[in-house]
Chains A and B, each alone.
Chain A
């Protein structure tokens, strides 16, 4: 780890970029994943309910909110994936102007990617630049590839990243929820609905 990066250890802020030529991995500068029932907002741990409210606020105030569904929800490979896909669509429908751009797989595409219609973890910045995405939500992306993409996004774009993770969450996102299943996505959709009304 470079000296400059290591100086941030323990006080690193996970914020929207463009941050650096090559962003550090947040886990390597002391950001720790949340426990069950918690989430992370910009590297800090909060209760899940609070995190959902922050997500809803971010989505509702975004200029161009975008959902990035990954293979785990794009493909109908299990009952749970179908349920989660439906929940994700409901969430997107509840956010005014939210669009959906798929990440169908993880391989580097050749000879080029069409950033208007898809996102790929090997060059996610292209899609974000092309579509001027200011807030995005990852769902159904395998953790390894989500983290690879999140670091590239933080390094080179000003996009605010949110992940709804089925496992333990992502320090490299600005906001992360963990153990996210269809039920939790629907709960988030409810929070969005409530806050939209309140506004």
Chain B
């Protein structure tokens, strides 16, 4: 393959020209992976994630990805990613639903190892009854793994947020894994116009010398190096080191906020913030909410919306500020748990005004009409409207 033209993430994300293409979410994601100049990809099939793995195989066959193989299962794919990322190369993988849960042990380790792996997850049902349909329940399991989590609304977000994920994951002061989460089929298989950057411009290669921990390659110092050693008392040390390590991982995630502002224009997108009612949503629920607020406004309801792009680090201060003057906050979600409502309730003063719902899950569609209907009922309940 001929010499690649490489560019900075700042240029690619913020300045590069864009071309419109009619793509499904998985194709948009593959275009991002191609531009991200990825070294090692390990994959495993699961619906609805498999297509991106196929597309990565094509990218490898065409020379855009340097190493690629199908692993034995998600637990070990994610362990292989740990190996590859520890060596100090740029990595990519993806999974879905039961795969996410199978991989929970390595997922709980990635952040502590300070590995800048980018891993999209195409959310689907987990547990029994079995279900391959879109669902955002998996984020609930991932919230406290120390990883950064973005929630994708559309194929366009999938392209943008994947590149933003690499830019932010690899900052020396952050250097953490990023989960780019979408609600399964709603994004992966929906075809829309996506604006993408030129396909002959690639991100600069990853430089492991900027890592906050030494690369595991017997080139970086110190040669006497136990990467991610057991920091426990049988090595004659205080538990304080273990605690301090854990704090540092969360601190690194907090440092990402500055980069999120720069590369993503902040963790939130706000429409009509002065309205008396706000719908707060993430992922495809935000897409449905956009349509719902227009419908509700036509019916004379003073409503705005907040799309929460970044779930971790959670934009607590920003949400608390927005919630101050609002009379009612409604949180529609594509899952049974209502984890986003819980997150919002935890950071908002007077949180009795935060209502979870509609909660639609197991692949059921959430028509905007349903959101409007539930909003009207809530307004009555909150006596804001007769």
User: Which A residues have a C-beta under 8 Å from some C-beta of B?
Assistant: 9, 22, 24-28, 32-33, 71-72, 74-75, 77, 81, 104-113, 121-123, 142-145, 147-149, 151-152, 155-156, 167-169, 171-172
Contacts and interface: CB of A to CB of B under 8 A. Distances in A.
Contacts of B317: 9
16 contacts: A22-B240, A27-B252, A71-B221, A72-B221, A77-B219, A104-B222, A104-B224, A106-B222, A107-B226, A108-B237, A113-B236, A123-B237, A144-B213, A148-B248, A149-B244, A172-B251
A152 B248 CA distance: 11
Contacts of B83: none
A28 B221 contact: no
Given A147-B248, A167-B173, A167-B212, A122 B238 contact: yes
B212 A107 contact: no
Given A33-B255, A110-B235, A152-B238, 20 more contacts: A25-B247, A26-B251, A28-B247, A74-B221, A74-B222, A75-B223, A77-B221, A81-B221, A105-B224, A108-B235, A123-B237, A123-B241, A143-B173, A144-B175, A144-B248, A148-B241, A148-B248, A152-B241, A152-B244, A167-B212
B222 A75 contact: yes
Contacts of B222: 71, 74-75, 104-106
Contacts of A71: 214, 221-222
Interface in B248-303: 248, 250-252, 254-255, 258
Nearest to A108: B235
Interface string B24-44: 000000000000000000000
B251 A112 contact: no
Given A104-B222, A142-B214, A32 B231 contact: no
A142 B210 CA distance: 9
Interface residues of B, number: 39
Interface of B: 114, 171-173, 175, 210-214, 219-226, 229-231, 235-238, 240-241, 243-245, 247-248, 250-252, 254-255, 258, 317
B224 A28 contact: no
Nearest to B112: A144
Contacts of A111: 236
A148 B238 CA distance: 12
A152 to B, nearest CB: 5
A142 B220 CA distance: 11
Contacts of A25: 247-248, 250-251, 254
A143 B212 CA distance: 5
**Of B236, B244, B251, B252, most A-chain CB atoms within 10 Å:** B244
A28 B212 contact: no
Contacts of A24: 247
A152 B240 contact: yes
A182 B154 CA distance: 47
Given A22-B243, A106-B222, A112-B236, A142 B173 contact: no
Contacts of A142: 211-214
A164 B184 CA distance: 46
A62 B53 CA distance: 59
A9 B229 CA distance: 31
A145 B213 contact: yes
B52 to A, nearest CB: 31
Given A28-B251, A108-B237, A143 B244 contact: no
A148 B225 CA distance: 16
A28 B245 contact: no
A28 B229 contact: no
B246 to A, nearest CB: 9
A40 B243 CA distance: 24
| Ranked 5 nearest A-B pairs via Cβ | A25-B251, A143-B212, A108-B235, A27-B251, A105-B222
Contact of A106 (B219, B225, B250, B251): B225
A198 to B, nearest CB: 35
B109 to A, nearest CB: 15
A75 to B, nearest CB: 4
Contacts of A72: 221
Contacts of A152: 238, 240-241, 244
Nearest to A145: B213
A96 B258 CA distance: 39
Given A105-B222, A107-B224, A122 B251 contact: no
A144 B244 CA distance: 10
A139 B351 CA distance: 46
